[in-house]
Copies of this chain bind each other. A is one copy, B any other.
Amino acid sequence: MDYPKGVKVIKNKDYRYDNRGMILEEDLNLTNQYYINNKIAYIYKRPTPIQVTKTEYRNNKKIIKEAFFKESSTTDYNGLYKGIYIDFEAKETKSKTSFPLGNIHDHQIKHLTNVLDNGGLAFFIIRFTSLNKTFLLTAKDFIEYFKDSKRKSIPLTYFVEKAHLIKESYNIRLDYIKIVDTLLGGTNE
C-alpha cells in the first residue's frame, strides 16, 4: 500500500505496544484470567473509548473511516468480587521516587468518587518498574493526595506509608484480591 509521505502507518498488531503500562497490563490480564478460571472474581479490562467521526458502508458492512482515541472518562478495569463492585486504574512509572499525576484526569477522579459514594471498592495499581515494586493504593488515599496537594506527583514514601505491596508470583502474577480481602475485612465488617 502507498501512504502519503511523512504519514506513519501503524498496523493493529503494534498498537498495544504503543500504550503505557504494557507489561503491567499483561500481568493483570493473566491474573484476572486466573481469577475467572478459578471462580474467584470477575474483573475485566474496559475497551479504549473512541470517538467515531466518519463511517461508510462497504459490502453492506459499516466500517469506520475516521475516529479518534478519547481521553478515558473512567478507569482501565472493573468487575466484581463476592458481589461487590470493584474498579481500578493501572499505571506504570519509570521513576524511582514518585508517581507523576499528569496522566490522571479529573473525570477519572469524578468516576472513582462516584464509585466510592455508592459503596464500591476503588483503587490504583501502580508499578514502579525501576524498583520492580507494584502497589495497591486505595482511591480514597489517592484522591486525598490528588486534591489536597499542589504537587505534580505522589512520592514513593506515600506509597510505602499508605499503600499495599502486591506480591508477584508465577501462578498468580499479581494477587491483588488478597489485598482487597484485607480492605473489605477492615471496612465492611
Contact = CB atoms under 8 A, between A and B. Distances in A.
Interface of A: 3, 7-12, 15, 18, 36, 39, 41-42, 44, 46-47, 49-58, 61-69, 74, 78-86, 114-115, 117-121
For the complex of A and B, list the 5 residue pairs with the smallest distance between their C-beta atoms, beginning with the closest: A83-B119, A80-B85, A64-B67, A85-B85, A42-B114
Given A49-B47, A50-B67, A64-B50, A83 B120 contact: yes
8 contacts: A12-B52, A42-B118, A42-B120, A62-B69, A64-B66, A64-B67, A83-B84, A85-B86
Given A67-B63, A79-B85, A118-B80, A11 B53 contact: yes
Contacts of A39: 117-118
Contact of A15 (B55, B86, B117, B119): B55
A101 to B, nearest CB: 22
Contact of A80 (B47, B58, B120): B120
B85 A84 contact: yes
B11 A80 contact: no
A174 B156 CA distance: 47
B78 A68 contact: no
